[in-house]
Amino acid sequence: MCKSIPTVDGAEIQRRLHELAQISVLPDRLWRPSYTPQEGQARRLLTSWFAQAGLSTRLDAAGNLLGRAGGAGQVTLIGSHMDTVKGAGAYDGTAGVLCGLAALQTLLAHFGPPRAPVELVAMVEEEGSRFPDASFWGSRSILGQADPALLSCRDEAEVTLAQAMADAGFDPARLPDARRTDLARYFEVHIEQGPVLEHRGIQLGVVDTITGLGTLAVEITGRANHAGTTPMDLRLDALQGAAGLVLRLPGLARRFQNATATAGSFQVFPGSANVIPGRVSILVDYRAPDPDDLARLGREIDQAAHSLEAEGYGVTTQLRMSLPPARLDRGLGALLEQCADELSCSSMHMISGAGHDCQLFAGQVPSALLFLPCRDGRSHCPEEYAAPEDLARGAQVLAAALYRLAWQET
């Protein structure tokens, strides 16, 4: 049955990805944070493409863009996010949106409207690159999990999330209106963001588990002083204390299977070359696919931070985000695997080391995640790349699964 699905144009998906990648806050590298004029420009472009494909479009109260095919009933939702990290590539998030669009466009053109409704979503603020405390804001809003307290969190320019939403034309008081209770299932297509598929020569990955993740904010206080007049043995350099903690992270993570720990965000105060740092703030990202390992790793990082107190440093820690590992739906995964096989695509089962909107949906509705190879496993960088044939392959397998669920079945 899958063999009847027409071939998808991967070159067109890639062309649209590159067109979206031109829309950036920064002139020299891609960054498209949520609730900015640039995101609004990207949303308008996506809206035009959704409409061209025959989808009826709308914006929800959080700013998620939705395109619908079909009438009333429980909805099969597909999609990903449209925001990016700072210094991003063109494929993370938006490849899933545009593969979903290509799948729906192909199905509508060849088979007409579905018997059961399907919606495509381009979500806001998955990355948390503007508001780190509000990662997965779009999917949380759809699922009724958006904490109103986070509306007061601030970006680097001290703009609150509530103000950013209002500036973009969305009323924060209406955020509960974004909640959905009509979802039957969720599908997401994404580049792997790792080298496994390419290294093994496998065309698609069917994800079984998405790793759990936590973000620990660590503040280390030392003693600011003159860099030239303070002897080395009489210093309490907060950055040196922080560096000691960072060097311990690899050893802590290696104690647990498939775990990682990364200190990717530093703020040094006062931030002058001739002043000994008096305070350093770090965000530590840690991940593990096993919930017990995740909890233990978080505790051990916290203990390692507080062990600096024995050296005279002041240390405060705060858990900024915690997501448990997500087990994805076996039935939907088996359907993707079967469709891939019928389309003569090789596939393998995988663990996702990266977090995805799918992780949130999996807690409430049956959910599936399909990985595409990316060159050298590179992601969250300008070198991010997926070949047109891989984009087309992912879109076609998704189309085959949607055809069975929404066109053949009621």
Q: DSSP state, 34?
A: T
Query: Model confidence at 410, in pLDDT bands (50, 70, 90)?
Result: low
Phi, psi of 269 (to 5 degrees): -120, 135
Provide the residue type at 102 as one letter. A
> Per-residue pLDDT for 3 more than 70?
no
Tokens of 16: 């649209």
**Would you give the end-to-end CA distance of the chain in angstroms?**
17
State the average pLDDT over residues 349-359: 93
pLDDT at 321: 86
CB 188 within 8 A of CB 96: yes
Query: Which 3 state secondary structure label does DSSP give 368?
Result: strand
The Cα–Cα gap between 328 and 143 comes to: 16
For residue 331, give the amino acid letter.
Answer: G
The whole-number pLDDT of residue 323 equals 87
The CA radius of gyration of the chain, in Å to the nearest whole number, is 22
> Which one, of 318, 215, 227, 320, lies nearest residue 278 by Cα?
227
pLDDT per position as a tens digit, 368-397: 999 999 999 999 999 999 999 999 999 999
Domains, the chain: 2-211+325-408 (3.40.630.10), 212-323 (3.30.70.360)
Collapse the DSSP code of 349 into the 3-class scheme (helix H, G, I; strand E, B; otherwise coil) and give the result.
strand
Dump pLDDT digits (tens) for 5-55.
888 999 999 999 999 999 999 999 999 999 999 999 999 999 999 999 999
pTM passes above 0.85: yes
